[in-house]
Amino acid sequence: MRFWSGGADLLGRALGGATTAVSHVRPAAKPLHPRGGVAHGVFERSGLQPPVGIDWLDRPGRDDALVRVSRAAGLPGPLPDVQGVAVRIRHGDDPPVDVLMNSSGTGRFTRFGLRPSRAVDGCALSTLMTYSMPDGTKVVLGADAEQTGDELLLRLRVAAPRGPWRTFGVARVDQGELDEDGEISFDPVLNAPPGLTPARWFAQLRKYSYRAARRARAGDDAA
């Protein structure tokens, strides 16, 4: 366990350094996924049958949704790029839930790897990391994206790391009225879905790159 924790810390520091370097080469509010459109909509949870023991996955419901679609390297539209989709789900006054996904494969191994695409339409998306349920069971979240006119439809799914995907809800947003990014910032670790804990190695891995990205947004290179 110490080996993996130490390795994740080392790799996390490297990613943080890379993020800082990118922010110097290409100054932007977000060094990675620099430009994106934010749209508002709804998230309708159909629930899972049979249930898995997590209310957020099992119970039907309807929540507000905010979705940001971006390209990781910020390459021009005609060129393939890693598609990024960040979903913020809100239910009343409850804390927000942030799910961050990137274009990926859907197979047992490819769901953990990036797959560049020309557009988000038709993409499979994955969180690339696992979450732990209270009983220790590991799951990964994902979605498939479909664009119809101005409407972007995201079928949110869950699976065991090597298991079949199961749809538990659909987010629909109208991209005809995109908002500017503004000051919105997503955090999949602090705002994880209730009942799900992000993999410890992932939190360790992301810590330094998130810190570097926040410094870039603030225009402050201090530690």
Half-sphere exposure of 95 (CA within 13 A, CB side): 11
Kindly report the CATH number assigned to the domain that includes residue 71.
2.40.180.10
Q: What's the average model confidence in pLDDT over 189-199?
A: 93
C-alpha separations of 153 from 78, 113, 144, 146 in Å: 22, 22, 8, 5
Whether 3 maps to a domain, the answer reads no
Residue-wise pLDDT tens digits, 140-186:
999 999 999 889 999 999 999 999 999 999 999 997 766 665 567 88
Whether 156 maps to a domain, the answer reads yes
Domain count, the chain: 1
**Residue 145 DSSP SS3:** strand
Q: What's the average model confidence in pLDDT over 54-68?
A: 95
Whether 68 maps to a domain, the answer reads yes
Give the number of other CB atoms < 10 A from CB of residue 40. 14
Report pLDDT for 34. 65
* pTM of structure: 0.79
Whether 178 maps to a domain, the answer reads yes
33: left (phi over 0), alpha (psi -120 to 50) or beta: left
Whether 191 maps to a domain, the answer reads yes
The residues, ordered by sequence, that sit 6+ positions from 175 with a Cβ below 8 Å of its Cβ are 37, 39, 69, 147, 150, 151, 152
Whether 59 maps to a domain, the answer reads yes
Whether 71 maps to a domain, the answer reads yes
**Residue 44 DSSP SS3:** strand
Whether 160 maps to a domain, the answer reads yes
List the domain range (segments joined by +) for residue 147.
35-198
